[in-house]
Chains A and B, each alone.
Chain A
Amino acid sequence: MINMSEKVIFPSKEWVAKFKDVVNSSKDYEEAAKTWEGDFIFEIIPDGTRNLSEKHQLYCDLWHGKCRDAFLVSTEQPAPEKVEYIYSGKYNNWLALFDGKVGPLKGIMQRKFTVTCSPGAMARLMKALKAAQELVKCTTMVENVEYI
């Protein structure tokens, strides 16, 4: 069990672990994503904001309203060969997303984020807007975060 009162750095293994716990305890996400099947890489690209100096990738396997697996991608723990969605953006845009200043879909429209996936997968994503919104809400519920 993760101690929510402990300070965590974003991005880090600890943050991902806390995020996974938040997702798995969110009834709203569970309801919104009850039919969702698909894994993501969330990619954070350094852009001179704060002190993030290298690209980070967070892997999340989302399945029927739960997060089955989540980890910070590294040489020791690489992402699976085939990941359905890659949602990528500059660090500053991620901070704006966490702050509620940018929505997950509007962020794509404004080129603040890109989604890489197959055309069929994009159609499924567009039908799951509520789940996407709830997932973003989960990121804001991770407590005591210190951003690099």
Chain B
Amino acid sequence: MWDFTSPRKVIFGEDALEYLSELCFENVFIVTDPTIKTMHLEKILAQLGDSKVTVFDKVSGEPSLDTVKDGACSMIEAKPDVIIALGGGSVLDSAKGMFPIYSQPDILIDGLSPFEVLDMRKKTNCILINIPTTSGTGADVTWAIVLTDLSEGTPRKISLANRELVADITILDPVLTKTMTPRLIAGTGMDAMCHAIDGYLSTWRNDFSDALSLHAFKLLWNNLPIAFEQAKVGEVDFAIREKLHNSATMAGWGFGNSQIILSHSLAHTIGAVFKIPHSVCIGAMCWYSLMFNQNYESERICDLAKLVGYTGTAGEIVTNFVSSFKELLLNLELPLSLLEMKVTEEEFQSNLEDLIAFAENDSGTLSNPRSIAHDDFITIFKCVFEGKDIDF
């Protein structure tokens, strides 16, 4: 038995935000961050009519369990009938983490079980609407959240999951991506591309996730470089932006109903230990993951490559595709190694054991198509540090 979980509605395209005005809420709780609040909050408020609105804007990048608990306290006081999460992955994950606490204040959020019956909507008469402002995380449609646990010595990313965390409605309006910088387009776009690849290669893949992952990958591969180059010269083509925005959600849908693999184990780990934003490191980690898995999932990597025009023997296709993936990272001006991410040799060596321990226990390691031994991780992390090819 397997589940495919999805929001009740996905509203997308030009003017999608106007859908909010068709709904009727008494008490709205908006979760966002200070930057998004300044850029986009007015657009949301304009659609909410006379509803009472409370805004929690304290979400930061790589949000902690403490931020989530703080927001949930405000939510409990406000007693909303709708939660609107407006922002990137950090905001969406934070709102998804606050909702269970709102419905059950004594819940141990870091102990959330995938199978716990929360009955959040029944207990609160509240729904969750996600409005992503970046085209990357897919957090608007996934049932997992990634938060940073600061309770132990070294900050650690924890993944929590429950199918009730999936939003009721997700709204994809490309106008919200207008102000994305080239750097943000590149980083979040590569995050989405990595979701599509991971979802397709994961050992938890299934027919439904395959369909979404493949099409999302094709849209991202074809549109991401164009959007990046346009943004560098100040151009915004909403047709391209819409493709990116939709494909990020489709990729989230895909991997959210399949799993992540090595790329995300590495990115979660170095993100937590060295405080490197996910969007900065995930692209490179996907490249290392492709190199490590290329001889074990060559048929599936070929499927992806053929979809975007690669031809030749299976071996040629895989080799050329992995090499083009590196070129894409370079073209998008993304770093390829920890050294390029400003991690020093001393920092790397002193944290290596923690890096390995965290990566070994990340769920992405468990669902990677090739099993990863302790010694493999040592070699992989050394390659990641120096930017070397993985050739074993």
The residues of A with any CB-CB pair to B shorter than 8 Å are 28, 31-32, 103, 105-106, 108-111, 114-115, 118-123, 126-130, 133
Give the residue of A110, A119, A133 whose beta carbon is less than 8 angstroms from that of B116. Answer: A119
The residues of B with any CB-CB pair to A shorter than 8 Å are 1-2, 107-108, 110-116, 158-159, 203-204, 360-363, 365-367, 374
A109 to B362, CA, bound (A): 16
Q: Which residue of B lies closest to A130 (CB)?
A: B360
Give the residue of B2, B108, B362, B366 whose beta carbon is less than 8 angstroms from that of A119. Answer: B108
A130 and B365 contacting across the interface, CB-CB below 8 Å: yes
Give the residue of A110, A123, A130, A133 whose beta carbon is less than 8 angstroms from that of B110. Answer: A123
Give the residue of A28, A31, A109, A121 whose beta carbon is less than 8 angstroms from that of B204. Answer: A109
A46 to B115, CA, bound (A): 23
A119 and B112 contacting across the interface, CB-CB below 8 Å: yes
A142 to B356, CA, bound (A): 28
Give the residue of B112, B203, B363 whose beta carbon is less than 8 angstroms from that of A129. Answer: B363
Q: Which residues of B contact A130 (CB under 8 A)?
A: 360-361, 365
Q: Which residues of B contact A118 (CB under 8 A)?
A: 111
A120 and B204 contacting across the interface, CB-CB below 8 Å: no
A119 and B360 contacting across the interface, CB-CB below 8 Å: no
A109 to B110, CA, bound (A): 18
Q: Which residues of A contact B107 (CB under 8 A)?
A: 119
B204 and A122 contacting across the interface, CB-CB below 8 Å: no
Q: Which residues of A contact B367 (CB under 8 A)?
A: 103, 106
Q: How far is the CB of B46 from chain A (nearest CB, A)?
A: 41
B111 and A120 contacting across the interface, CB-CB below 8 Å: yes
A105 and B363 contacting across the interface, CB-CB below 8 Å: yes
Q: Which residue of A lies closest to B1 (CB)?
A: A111
B158 and A127 contacting across the interface, CB-CB below 8 Å: yes
B365 and A129 contacting across the interface, CB-CB below 8 Å: yes
Known: A103-B203, A130-B365. 9 other contacts (CB 8 A): A31-B374, A108-B114, A109-B114, A111-B1, A115-B113, A119-B107, A120-B111, A126-B159, A129-B362
Q: Which residue of B lies closest to A105 (CB)?
A: B366
A32 to B359, CA, bound (A): 12
Q: Which residues of B contact A28 (CB under 8 A)?
A: 374
Known: A31-B374, A119-B116, A123-B108. A128 touches B361 (CB 8 A): yes
B113 and A127 contacting across the interface, CB-CB below 8 Å: no
Residue pairs across A and B with Cβ atoms less than 8 A apart, 26 shown, are: A103-B367, A108-B114, A108-B115, A109-B2, A110-B1, A110-B2, A115-B113, A115-B115, A118-B111, A119-B107, A119-B111, A119-B112, A119-B113, A120-B111, A122-B111, A122-B113, A122-B116, A126-B159, A127-B158, A127-B361, A128-B361, A129-B365, A129-B366, A130-B360, A130-B361, A133-B366
A103 and B1 contacting across the interface, CB-CB below 8 Å: no
B111 and A123 contacting across the interface, CB-CB below 8 Å: yes
Q: How far is the CB of A103 from chain B (nearest CB, A)?
A: 6
A103 to B360, CA, bound (A): 15
Q: How far is the CB of A31 from chain B (nearest CB, A)?
A: 7
Q: How far is the CB of B162 from chain A (nearest CB, A)?
A: 11
A129 to B358, CA, bound (A): 10
A74 to B56, CA, bound (A): 55
A31 to B107, CA, bound (A): 32
Q: Which residue of A lies closest to B359 (CB)?
A: A130
Q: How far is the CB of A131 from chain B (nearest CB, A)?
A: 8
Q: Which residue of A lies closest to B110 (CB)?
A: A123
A106 and B204 contacting across the interface, CB-CB below 8 Å: yes
A79 to B143, CA, bound (A): 36
A115 to B110, CA, bound (A): 17
B203 and A106 contacting across the interface, CB-CB below 8 Å: yes
A128 to B366, CA, bound (A): 11
Q: How far is the CB of B17 from chain A (nearest CB, A)?
A: 35
Q: Which residue of B lies closest to A103 (CB)?
A: B366
Q: Which residues of B contact A123 (CB under 8 A)?
A: 108, 110-112, 158
Q: Which residues of B contact A114 (CB under 8 A)?
A: 115
Give the residue of A32, A106, A115, A120 whose beta carbon is less than 8 angstroms from that of B108. Answer: A120
Give the most central of A106, A118, A123: most B CB within 10 Å: A123
A103 to B158, CA, bound (A): 20
Q: Which residue of A lies closest to B113 (CB)?
A: A122
Q: Which residues of A contact B366 (CB under 8 A)?
A: 103, 105-106, 129, 133
A28 to B374, CA, bound (A): 9
Q: Which residue of B lies closest to A28 (CB)?
A: B374
Q: Which residues of B contact A31 (CB under 8 A)?
A: 374
Q: How far is the CB of B108 from chain A (nearest CB, A)?
A: 5
Q: Which residues of B contact A121 (CB under 8 A)?
A: 111
A93 to B353, CA, bound (A): 35
A21 to B279, CA, bound (A): 46
A84 to B390, CA, bound (A): 41
Q: Which residues of A contact B203 (CB under 8 A)?
A: 103, 106
Q: Which residues of A contact B361 (CB under 8 A)?
A: 127-130
A115 to B114, CA, bound (A): 11
A133 to B374, CA, bound (A): 13
Q: Which residue of B lies closest to A111 (CB)?
A: B1
